[in-house]
Amino acid sequence: MTRLKAALDPRSVAIIGASENPNKVGGRPVHYLDKFGFKGKIFPINPSRAEVQGHKCYKSLGDLPEAPEMVIVAVAGDNAIGAVEDCAAHGVKVAVVMASGFGEVDAVAGKAKERRMVEAAHKAGMRIVGPNSQGLANFGTGAIASFSTMFMDMDRAEGHVAMLSQSGALSTVPVGFLRQRGIGVRHTHATGNDADITVGELAVAVAEDPEVKLLLLYLESIPETKYLEELAEVALKRDLPIIALKSGRSEAGRQAAQSHTGALANEDRVVDAFFEQHGIWRAPDMRGLVEATELYLKGWKPKGRRLVAISNSGAVCVMTADAATNVGMPMAKLSAETDKKLKGILPSFATTTNPIDLTAALLSNSRLFGDILPVIAEDPAADAFLIGVPVAGPGYDVEAFARDAAAFAKQTGKPLVIAATQKSVADQFAAEGSSVFPTETEAVTALHQFLAHHELMARTKARLAHGQQIRSPWQPAAVTTMLNEADSLALLAERGVSVVAHRLCRSRAEAVAAFESIGGPVVVKGCSADIAHKSELGLVKLGVTSREEAGDVWAQMEAIIRKHGSRFDGVIVAAMAGGRREIMIGAHRDPVFGPVVAVGDGGKYVEIFRDTALLLPSFSREEVKTALQRLRVAPLFAGVRGEPPMDVDALCEAVMRIGALMLDPTAKVVSLDLNPVLLDSAGKGCVVVDAVVFQG
């Protein structure tokens, strides 16, 4: 936290625009600093008052007995600009600017005002949070520089969760949800327009707080990745999980994010790939951001994700199995020895295979939970557990159930969730420290997130341990150049990518000789560095079967290219390559995230079906295989209806080589499009048939 210590743990705070009324923007921070036990000095500034909320009030920064480390700027509009400049002149370290009406509403004039503030700050070595910031709140130190209404009815019940957001509301809404579940927060910060200190930079400082055990992020834009990458590195070293909610998944959402923050939205699927590469779990919505929070705070170190479900309802057992299947969580197959022991405990009409249905026997024997849980705990196949108690009342010893479940979780150290709809039942399990959800679907979803996130972090750490390069350091030139197809294929071949046998022919005679050398039938294609889509101009001829036809087609191609006013680089004569499936491999340099590689179903309908997966170099062969399995066409790779499997290993090798090419600054590749890449049966490889490469 040393880098932004003045923002998170200042020794003194001044409030420009301080108000006696704690329900005004300038009054809230004064009230909160007192309420939450801030130990530093508080300096209200308001030229019209001698005292504010029991504190001596000053007319200006120049009247203070010392330069405050932090200043909260709670004056509106352009007055905030002058206040920031005054802060910079008086040696303030951090200014929290709450005023709005800047870049979020005017991308030109508003942004210019932001730059003016930031330039004034940086000249004096000062940093800015905001503008348009709801403020910062560190409940660990009592430094509450915020005007959030949420804190008015909060006690000083600090926890181990940090919530950071570009939005004011979304910095506190999750806090309210967590409070309902009895979970406290240590940090909740809203950075607003991120004109200077971004949410990512502040998150790095917060991640260094040893009391933080879970970090939540709400992002509307990602203008750069430097601090998010650093955050991921710091968090992985600490085993600190990060869950991010990035809005703007839809086109309408992206438009709204632009108008709200004044920043460009990012390609959503690239955001997914970026988070996955850095071990960050992406939440689909607000509930997904916070629903599994208490599981992260248990200190569990899961070893796998095989689930065992136990309930007194057969329906709950079935629905739990369905929910587990939907998220890819296998139901553990218990050993024969476990089954035998369970049969010795449970009545004959109970189900001893997983999921375990205790039926109504639980009503007559309240010790069943306590009797069977130790048996199940010994089974090595059991990684995680769900106990479902949908209905219980008079005659059921729910207190014993809850006590036994808690003792079981403590004994095994393995993840356990409870599904209990009745409040009276849920409350008793929660009182024993168990994680309780209203339905088995919600319980399984939260458990899946926790376990899958743990696996994602482990994979990320393993990749970093092997020294895999994450980012390419070079930046492309402003102007890019398209290579013709012959040069594109040559570049790929130099990098070890298998390309179709071909020759570039600059005369009719060369075309005839190429046909004789390659042997028919062949493909004849026009070649020009000015034409990317040849088929639309009639520059692709398949199945040429004679030397005379090859010569005639060469002449036709030359005529079309010259008539089109494009450079004539020659004509390609290529072998008619075979394969079982057309694949596409593409890559480009995203201005924010760097190199991005796409692989998926290819052919002329690639843009219609959009069955592709994204990878950010560098990546492992196993990561490529995992990405391929996410494709809708993935089942075809293994072979169907008696067909042999396809050469997925060769395809992975090609994708790996493209990833390495995109990271190599000497290649200067800005983008490439390989479509089709013909994938054949196992052992027969894959070959690039058509390629377009842009360099910069």
Which residue do the tokens 């089942």 mark? 635
Q: Six-digit token pair at 26?
A: 């300038």
Task: Return the percent helix, strand and coil in the chain, to nearest 5.
Answer: 40, 20, 40
The reported pLDDT for the residue numbered 394 is 82
Cβ neighbour number for residue 604 with a 10 Å cutoff: 10
The reported pLDDT for the residue numbered 265 is 39
Residues 17, 87: Cα–Cα separation, whole Å = 13
**Confidence band of 264 (pLDDT split at 50, 70, 90):** very low
pLDDT tens column, 577-614 = 989 999 999 999 988 888 999 999 998 888 888 899 99
What is the pTM for the complete model shown? Answer: 0.91
Q: Six-digit token pair at 444?
A: 């399984």
pLDDT tens column, 70-100 = 999 999 989 999 999 999 999 999 999 999 9
Domains in the chain: ranges and CATH? 5-295 (3.40.50.720), 298-462 (3.40.50.261), 501-575 (3.30.1490.20), 581-695 (3.30.470.20)
Residues 446, 86: Cα–Cα separation, whole Å = 49
Q: Name residue 19's amino acid.
A: S
Please give the average per-residue pLDDT across 239-268, as a whole number: 67
The reported pLDDT for the residue numbered 362 is 74
Residues 494, 646: Cα–Cα separation, whole Å = 25
Q: Which residue has the higher pLDDT, 252 or 302?
A: 302
Three-state SS sequence of 145-214: EECCHHHHHCCCCCCCEEEEECCCHHHHHHHHHHHHCCCCEEEEEECCCCCCCCHHHHHHHHHCCCCCCE
Residues 198, 385: Cα–Cα separation, whole Å = 40
Q: Which helix (H) or strand (E) holds 248?
A: none
Q: Are 417 and 295 in contact (CB under 8 A)?
A: yes
Q: Which residues 6+ apart lie within 8 Å of 126 measured at CB?
A: 87, 88, 92, 93, 94, 95
The C-alpha angle with vertex 495 and arms to 491 and 500, in degrees rounded to 5, equals 65
Backbone angles phi, psi at 623, to 5 degrees: -70, -35
> Which of these, 168, 174, 175, lies nearest to 148 by C-alpha position?
168
> Which of these, 93, 168, 103, 100, lies nearest to 124 by C-alpha position?
93
Which residue do the tokens 């219980």 mark? 392
The reported pLDDT for the residue numbered 288 is 94
